[in-house]
Each structure stands twice: as C-alpha cells, then as structure tokens.
Chains A and B, each alone.
Chain A
Amino acid sequence: MTAEHTEGWQGLELMRGSLDHCVKCTICETACPVAAVTPLFPGPKYVGPQAERFRTHEPSVDSSLDYCSSCGICTLSCPQGVHVAEINSQARAAMKKQRGIPLRDQLIARSGLEGKLGTPVAPLANLVLGNSLVRALTERTIGIHRDAPLPKFAGRTFQGWARRRPPSETTTDKVVYFHGCSTNYFEPGLGRMTVAVLEHNGFSVVVPPQDCCGLPLQSNGIFDTARSYVRRLVAHLVPYARQGYKIVATSTSCGLMLKREAIEILGVADDDLRLVSEHTYDICEFLADLAADGRLRTDFRPVPLKITYHAPCQQQGHNIGKPALDLFDLVPGLTVVELDRACCGIAGTYGLKREKYDIAMQVGSGLFADIVGANPDLSICDSETCRWQITHGTGKTSAHPVEILHRAYGL
C-alpha cells in the first residue's frame, strides 16, 4: 500500500465511519441551499450517508453527487455528528477519478498558477477576461460561464509589498500572516490593511513565502495534487508553529483548509499539518479573542456606515460563531444588519461552471435580495469568492471585516 493510498484510506474511514450515526432525521435536507433550488441535487442525506452505502470501487451511475457545492452546511447542521459534506467530497473525488477530470476543472482549481501568469500582464489579462466575446468563447470551449464573477489581477503582489516594506517594530508579540492566493494576486490591499491592524495592536507581522493551500483542487476532486500543495504550504508555516506563533488567515476558506479540510477531506496524516492546524486562526477569531481578553486596542473612531454582514458557509465551518459581529460591536457609529442566509451560491469555483452558474445564482438570490433591501454602504463578508459573487449579484461593493477595523483605527 502506497503512502498516498494509506492517507486517502484513513481520511475516508474517519469520515465514512460517521455515517452510521445518521438517524435519517432530514435536518441536513432542510438546511441544504442547493437542494432547495434544483432537483438535480436530491439532498445531502440521499447523496451522502444513504448513497454512500452503495458506493463500491465500481464506477457509479449516479451523477447527482457532482451537484453538491461542498458548502458544508449539512455537516454543520447535523445534530448527530455525521460528516455529510466530507463523505460527499471524498465520493466525488473518487467519481471524478474514475470518469476523468475536465480541463475546465483543472484550470480553475489552480488559482496560484493563474495569479502568477496574470500578474505580470495584469492590464492585458484584465482586458481580455473582461471582454464579452472572450468570455462567450471561454464558456463554449471550456465551460466557464460567461457571466460568472472573476476577480481582476492587481498587477502587484502582496508578497512583493511585504518583502519591500520595513520590518515591523520589534515587539515581543509575533504573528504569522497566511494571506492566501486571492490577497496576493487580486486583493493586496486587504493584506496591507491586515498588517496595519495587527501592527496597531502591537504585533510584529511575519509574512513567510507561501503558495496555494490546495483548496480549489480539493473542491474539484483533484486530491493528489491538493495534498502536495497543502504539504508545501505547511512546510512554509510549520517552523513558526513550532515556535508557538499563531498563524492568522484572512481567507476564511483557506484557513479552514489548514484547520480541518486537509485532515478530514484529503486525509493528510501529518504531524506538521496538525501543528500548523492547531496554530491557525481566522483573523476575526484572533481579534475577537484579543478583545475578549481585553487586549484589543479600542481607540476606534466613529465609522458612520450602514453595513450588512454575511457569514459565509466556509466561515461557519470554523464552528466559532460570528466573531466579526463582536468586533463590529466595538466600533462606534456603525450600523450592522446581520444576514441570516446560509450561502451565496458560489462555493469557491462551483458557481463559475457553465452548468452550475444558474443554480449558484438562485442559491444566492435570497442573500442578494436581503442586501439590496437593506441598502448598505458596504456589504461585509469574510470570503473573497463570496464577495465577488455578492458584488456580481447585488451591484454593491463587498469588503472583508478587517476593512471596517482598518477604517475605525484611522490607519
């Protein structure tokens, strides 16, 4: 048995074992945002713990599994502790391995590579990707929906900025920043704001070199490559974890990849990963913990804005509630409308796909309507792909919670 095989097997058994806890109560069915809008996905209980019993090494005739968006709400809702979403992700990877992975999925799963290729030629790349004829052609040839929200290349990477910037003032508190691909290539401003907020609170911020965590590969069923990606990232981060430093992430889904999904879905059994995992914090979790301990600076200026806050499905997967709301409570003048929707629909790369775009937009329609109805100055959300989808669905600017703190500190 190869090491790779052992890993996959362990991950599978860990999650698959939980299906015996399913009492068929249907709570996951009532919470699933995809089954609510399309009969193509019959629901997490059917596709998950029920169908899993019939899956063997023989190719499956059932394709409905592919319509699961991997938002993870079924696992979150299950009162019995069944890892519904994890079981489905693993089964889908097995199915795609049997059937072959489309070129489209191979491409959209490599956000780091796209970033590297697009950044040096950003104006041209943005022009090309913004061209409706190109998008129509891309839809026909490889199946990325012509209207799906794609980010714009910033042209300068966050890593480049971090390398050039003078080192933080030496303080006893050090924190490691895992910024992820989107901050590096598409939203470097978020990275700069995060560093400023952390430094304002007396931390010196270390930005180690880092690559893609492998999440888009994982959600597209390309597990072998995803495992090598996450191991490569862990190698960059583990020296700091060994010294006891906390690692903060602004990309909530990539943070969750380190905390949970690499272990529970990819089945990576690795002490280094476990150590990094235990030291990884979502940025709002980290800051709200500081606040709870009375260590967060509260020299906030009034921010007279009305914001909506959507906690994305991947943020909820951290099982930490909504710490962003605790932080917003500290900012004077801020009016916060908490939204109660499970998912915006995009689920990473799901909503980019030609055959799933309409489903994703329908999943998000309730959220979009709530945001448009609330008419906020800014709609706040922790996840980058969700922010792009929300802006696409509402026409309103969407920002990360850190941006509010950055403004409130007057940085």
Chain B
Amino acid sequence: MTETRHADVVVLGAGLAGLTAAVRLAEAGLKVVTVAKGLGSLRLAPATIDILGYAPQRVDSPTASLPGFVAAHPQHPYSLVSAQVLAASVSWLKDHVDGYSYVGEPSTNMLLPTAIGVPRPSAVVPKTMVGGDIRDLSTVAVAGLRVLKDFHPALAAENLQAAAAAAGLSLQVRPVMLDVPVDGEVDVGTLALARHFSDKKFRTAVGAELRRALSDEQAVGVPAVLGLDDVQEVWSQFTEEVGKPVFEIPTIPPSVPGMRLAALLQARFRAAGGRLVLGAQATGPELRDGKLVGVRVAAAARETPRLCRWVVLATGGLASGGIDVDLAGHAAETALGLPVRGPGADQAAFLPSYLADHPIDTIGLTVDANLRPAGPDGEPVYQNLRAAGAIIGGARPWREKSGDGISLSTGYLAAESILQEAR
C-alpha cells in the first residue's frame, strides 16, 4: 500500500540551516513544508557569515586553517564539510540574496567592528558592512544616534582603537553622537530607526548632520539600521549624503541585518512553492514498521502526523531548544527523541571557571557523512533523516566564530544529500 504524503520533505526549524535546506530543496522541485515553533533565530544574528574566526588564535584564512582545525577536532561538524561544499554553499547564498549583496570569500577573514568595538573575524558579509574592515583603515569615525540606547560610540571607539593597536594596526577612531529628528521620542529601537531611515527626508537630515560632524576620517560606522528591504537604496543614498564611505555595525537584537536576510530567504522559499507552518512544534517521529514516514506536529487543539519522504532536523542546539538537558543532567533531542552525544552521566557538564571549555558546550547529535543522525554504534537511526546546523554536536561556535558557516554549509549539504536520493 502506498501512503499519501503531505510533502516530499518536512524541514524542522527556520533558522539559517533550515532555511538554506528548505530553499534548496524547494527550488529543486520538491514539495517542502517547514515546521517551526517560532520565527527562526536568524533574526537575532548579525547576518554575517562567520566561518572560522578563532582556532584558538585569530584566523586570517578559514580555508587555510580548516584542514588543521578539523584534524585537531575530528568530531567537529566541519569534518563533514569539504572545501568544495563550503565554497558552493557560500556562492549559493550570494546568488540567493541578491537584494542584499554579500561580498567576501571563505579564503579571507575581514576584521569588522562589533557594537562594542571588538574587531570580529568574518569572511562573507553584506556589502553595507565591508567598509568597516579595519585592515584597510587608518582613521575612522563611529557614529551613534542619541535615541538609540543600545549603541555607544564612545565605548566602541575606545575599544576598537585599543584592539587595533593590540593587533599591530595603526588606527585612529573618533566617536560621534548624532541627534536625529524623531519627534520627541527618547528611546527608539533599532527596528524603529530602520523604518525611519526608509523615509528619505529623515535620512537626508541625519546624513547632513553626520557630514557636518566628520572631519578627515576615511569612513564612518553607524549602527545597522539603514532600512529593511530597501537597504541598498537607503545605504547608497545615505552614503552620498554623508560624502564618505558609510558602513553598518551590527547591533544587539532586534538585529536589522538578520531580519533582512531572514525575510529574503523566506521570500525565496515561498516563491519556490515552499510552505511554512508557524507556531507548531514537532513532538515525535511518525513511524511505520520502525521506518520514519513523517513527523508528529502539535498544532492548536491536536497533534497530527505530517507525512513525508525525508525529514531535515534543524531545530538548533541547546540554546535554541533543539537539545534539552534536565536538572539531573539527562540530555534529550526534543523533536524526534534522537540519541544525544554529550557529557556522560558520570561527567560534570560544567567546569568551575566561567570561560572554560565546558564539556556541555559541544553537546549535540552525532551524524554520519550524509548528515544522518547516528546512534552510539555509528549507524544512522533513520535512513531518510538529515540534521543541519547547531543541533550537530562537536562545535563551540561562540568561541570559534563558526556558527554561520556550520549552519549554511550543513543546510546546503543536507539538501544535497536528499537531492541525490531524489534524482
């Protein structure tokens, strides 16, 4: 008996990994349903593609450092991603977000300032941020907007200058504070400012004030609030207004660059016929004779199976709820009940020092070469399941600055592996 399917593929999760897999599969002609508990965490991210930033020293070239890094970390997700796949996933992303041009290659890390002035190694970034690469600058201004209480140019400037000096770069950084015409509002967030910047009159006024505030700096960094889907237009017009190169510096959430990238990928997914089911949570596998034939999904009033040929699991790691650890230290994969590799029951999850490499950091799934989650014996649990993104164990993305590269490349690879079977 052939059973009617609701979709070819069910993708669980709508972050960078899930969206990458979902868009690729849908564009290849498969019927894809993405099931997500909420809008994915991509909206919180700076939207740069950090591939490998520290290993543990600062990395200048991810592609040059990766072979050695993988040899030293054989259980790292990057051990499953070839240089070709990484490069292909980066070009794929560039082709798919043409409304928000990305530049850079996995071969070279730029050094871009964060909101607190730390130079961050990042390989592939939106064009609006590239001008902040401090390797190319000797004098720069960092401008804040007085109503934006989450961005402090004096702090950023002081830290950036000190960090540049420590890195052997000669860089002068000057903070500038701007008053913007927001009609009596005293506390305006990044998203509200991005909406203000879509108004030409507003950005002309801010641009003129910034021009007056600058002297002989080569470029000026501003918080990343230069418009939403209209960012290209807003950024280039604002730059003209200022009369000097302007670059965006990512902020704490709400992250406007993350919203831009998420919106573009979601639009791609929709255009390819993909379907998004939001606010729904996967509660377990749907099995027939031990085989995975779908996912059980909790919606309003009831739980129902969504049947499919393949499942991509991209629900995120411990921080996103894809993995859960209870107070007794028992770890569980929350969507399908898969085996989790983490600190054993007899091992401490945490070390005494806050900044230590805690055993729990690398908790996640073990996967085979095709990204199929595997049991302790190394055998795939289900032949038609793939995992992508932070749910794969073995990485310390916040320390390595590797999270975006892992999500993008494994999302891409999970789709590749399914497409090979579908052909």
CA distance A81 to B195 in the complex (A): 27
B319 to A, closest residue via Cβ:
A23
Query: B4's contact among A26, A256, A260, A294, by CB below 8 Å, is which?
Result: A294
Q: Report if B96 contacts A (CB, 8 A).
A: no
A245 to chain B, nearest CB (A): 15
Q: How far is the CB of B255 from chain A (nearest CB, A)?
A: 9
CB contact under 8 A between A27 and B44, given known A76-B279, A77-B38, A322-B275:
yes
Is A30 in contact with chain B by the CB < 8 A criterion? yes
The residues of B that contact A258 with a CB separation of less than 8 Å are 301
Q: Which residues of B contact A79 (CB under 8 A)?
A: 36-41, 320-321
Contact with A along B319-354 (1 / 0, CB 8 A): 011000000000000000000000000000000000
Let me know if A340 and B44 touch, CB within 8 A: no
Contact B279 A319 (CB under 8 A): yes
Contact call A30/B191, Cβ cutoff below 8 A: yes
Chain B, interface size: which category? 35 or more
Residue ID in chain A nearest B307 by CB atoms = A292
Task: Provide the residues of chain A in CB contact with B80, threshold 8 Å.
Answer: none
Known: A79-B40, A325-B275. Contact between A319 and B299, CB under 8 A?
A: yes
Contacts of B321 in A (CB 8 A): 79-80
Tell me the complex Cα distance, A293–B321, Å.
32
A39 within 8 A of B: yes
Answer yes or no: B253 CB below 8 A from chain A CBs: yes
Q: With A and B bound together, what is the CA distance between A326 and B277 in angstroms?
A: 13
Q: Which of A27, A294, A319 contacts B39 (CB 8 A)?
A: A27
Per-residue 0/1 for A65-101: is the Cβ within 8 Å of any B Cβ (1 yes, 0 no)? 0000000000111111100000000000000000000
Q: Within the complex, what minimum Cβ distance (angstroms) separates A271 from chain B? A: 14
| A27–B41 alpha-carbon span in the complex (Å) | 8
For residue A75, which residues in chain B have a CB less than 8 angstroms away from its CB? 279
Interface size on A, residues (CB 8 A): 36
Q: Mark B245-285, 1 if CB is under 8 A from A, else 0.
A: 00000000110000100000011001000011111110000
Residues in A whose Cβ lies below 8 Å from that of B259 = 30
Bound together, the chains give a CA A30 to CA B259 distance in angstroms of 8
Cβ–Cβ contact B279 & A29, under 8 A: no
Which residues of A are found within 8 Å of B267, using beta-carbon distances? 340
* List of B residues within 8 angstroms of A39 by Cβ: 185
Q: A31-B39, A80-B38 are in contact. Are A321 and B276 (CB under 8 A)?
A: yes
Which residues on B sit within 8 Å (CB–CB) of A36?
Answer: 195
Contacts A76-B38, A77-B278: A292 and B300 contacting too (C-beta < 8 A)? no
A contact residues around B281 at 8 Å (CB): 81
List of B residues within 8 angstroms of A44 by Cβ = none
Residue A278 at the B interface, CB < 8 A? yes
Q: Which of B30-47 contact A (CB under 8 A)?
A: 33, 36-41, 43-44
Name the B residues within 8 Å of A338 (CB-CB).
Answer: 270
- Chain A residues contacting B359 (CB-CB under 8 Å) are none
Chain A window 257-282, contacts with chain B (Cβ cutoff 8 Å), 1 for yes, 0 for no:
01110000000000000000110100
Evaluate contact between B302 and A278: CB separation under 8 angstroms.
yes
Q: Could you say which residues of chain A place their CB within 8 Å of the CB of B280?
A: 319-321
- The answer to whether A401 has its CB under 8 Å from any CB of chain B is no
Complex contacts, A320 vs chain B, CB 8 Å: 277, 280, 299-300
Residue numbers in A under 8 Å from B41 (CB-CB): 25, 79
- CB-nearest residue of chain A to B5: A292
The verdict on A393 contacting chain B, using a C-beta distance below 8 Å, is no
B181 interface hit (Cβ, 8 Å): no
A317-B300 contact given A30-B259, A76-B278, A80-B321, CB 8 Å threshold: yes
Decide: B254 and A30 in contact? CB cutoff 8 A.
Answer: yes
| B contact residues around A260 at 8 Å (CB) | 300-301
* Cα A256 to Cα B300 with chains together (Å): 8
A29's partner among B254, B276, B297 (CB-CB below 8 A) is B254
Is B300 a contact of A319 with CB atoms below 8 Å? yes
- Taking CB atoms, residues of chain A closer than 8 Å to B33 are 321
A318 close to B39 (CB less than 8 A): no
Tell me if A29 and B300 are in contact (CB < 8 A). no
Q: How far is it, in angstroms, between the C-alpha of A340 and the C-alpha of B274 when the chains are bound? A: 13
Known pairs A36-B195, A319-B298 / 8 extra A-B pairs, C-beta < 8 Å: A25-B44, A27-B38, A30-B39, A79-B40, A79-B321, A81-B38, A293-B4, A320-B280
Smallest CB-CB A-B distances: 8 pairs: A79-B38, A319-B299, A321-B277, A259-B301, A319-B280, A76-B279, A319-B279, A259-B300
Q: What are 16 A-B pairs at a CB distance below 8 A?
A: A27-B39, A29-B189, A30-B43, A30-B254, A77-B278, A79-B40, A79-B41, A79-B320, A81-B281, A259-B301, A316-B279, A318-B300, A320-B277, A321-B276, A338-B270, A340-B266
Residues of A within 8 A of B (CB): 25-27, 29-31, 36, 39, 75-81, 256, 258-260, 277-278, 280, 292-294, 316-322, 325-326, 338, 340
